[in-house]
Amino acid sequence: MKVALFIPCYIDALYPKVGIATLELLERLGVEVDYPLNQTCCGQPLGNEGDQKNAAAAERLFVDNFKGYDYIVGPAGSCVKHVRHHLDAIEQTTDVQSVRKNTYELVEFLHDILKLRDFSNVTFSHRVAVHNSCSSIRGLQLASCSEVMGPRWNKTEALLERVKGLELVHIDRPDECCGFGGTFAVTDEAVSAKMGLDKVRDYERHGIEYVVSPDMSCLMHQEGVSKMQQMPIQFVHIAQVLNQGPF
């Protein structure tokens, strides 16, 4: 199994410890990981704004870096969703189609490909809420969504539920958007801030110590709101929990 590690640009710049934890976790699980050194942004910000002309260069470089691997794994649901569902600015060659098909978010790679369920060798003695981003829920189906009738399921929680000492708590509105949304947080600042405030107050009502997520972009937004409100809530990526750091 040839696996390439995809570290999104914002994680590389702002949360390098998440990238390190992802690499260490995969290697600890026996996965042979390669890291293409010329990788850059996947093109999501440009694609989200409809700038297909400039998105094409980033998308083309992404494919050049990651073609030929059995799996491409990244610790960011929104970026993986862009690759899988919106890498449309370039010609859909065989290489492009292969890269799109074989790019996985970390949780779904652990849950669906490696089929791991037992992390009882890990200890994290805290009261935890899980935040799956809108992209992860509705784009990658990491969890069920409340607007659809049917059984409840959550792949992120399935990886965490056997961690020693970890108490999973369901907040009132677990799949409600936190208001980040990338450029939405800039163009609609007041709405974004209010949505973030609603989310962190939901955590506060339930006595949450740590919020764990596959998406640091959402956690970045929520952490900023939480700090403004002087709430003692911590926000960490699931790779850091399952790998026991670095934090």
Answer yes or no: are the C-beta atoms of 229 and 200 closer than 8 Å: yes
Residue-range domains of the chain with CATH = 3-113 (no CATH), 127-243 (3.40.50)
Report which residue type is found at 170.
H
Q: Is the pLDDT of residue 70 over 90?
A: yes
Residue 47's pLDDT is what? 87
> End-to-end CA distance of the chain, in Å?
29
Answer yes or no: are the C-beta atoms of 75 and 106 closer than 8 Å: yes
Tens digit of each residue's pLDDT (9 = 90 or more) over 92-126? 999 999 999 999 999 999 999 999 999 999 999 99
Residue 147's pLDDT is what? 87
Structure tokens at 12: 């590389």
Q: Give 13's contacts (C-beta < 8 A, 6+ positions apart).
A: none
Residue 183's pLDDT is what? 80
Tens digit of each residue's pLDDT (9 = 90 or more) over 199-237? 999 999 999 999 999 999 999 999 999 999 999 999 999
Q: Average pLDDT in the 87-93 region?
A: 96
Q: Average pLDDT in the 17-23 region?
A: 97
Tens digit of each residue's pLDDT (9 = 90 or more) over 149-192? 889 999 999 999 999 999 999 999 999 999 998 788 888 899 99
Q: Is the pLDDT of residue 14 over 90?
A: yes
Residue 182's pLDDT is what? 76
* 3-state helix/strand/coil string of 3-36: EEECCCHHHHHHCHHHHHHHHHHHHHCCCCEECC
Q: How far, in whole angstroms, is CA 192 from its chain's centroid?
A: 19
| Other C-beta atoms lying within 10 Å of the C-beta of residue 196 | 24
Answer yes or no: are the C-beta atoms of 132 and 154 closer than 8 Å: yes
Residue 25's pLDDT is what? 97
DSSP assignment of 58-80, as one string? HHHHHHHHHTT-SEEEES-HHHH
* Model-wide pTM > 0.85: yes
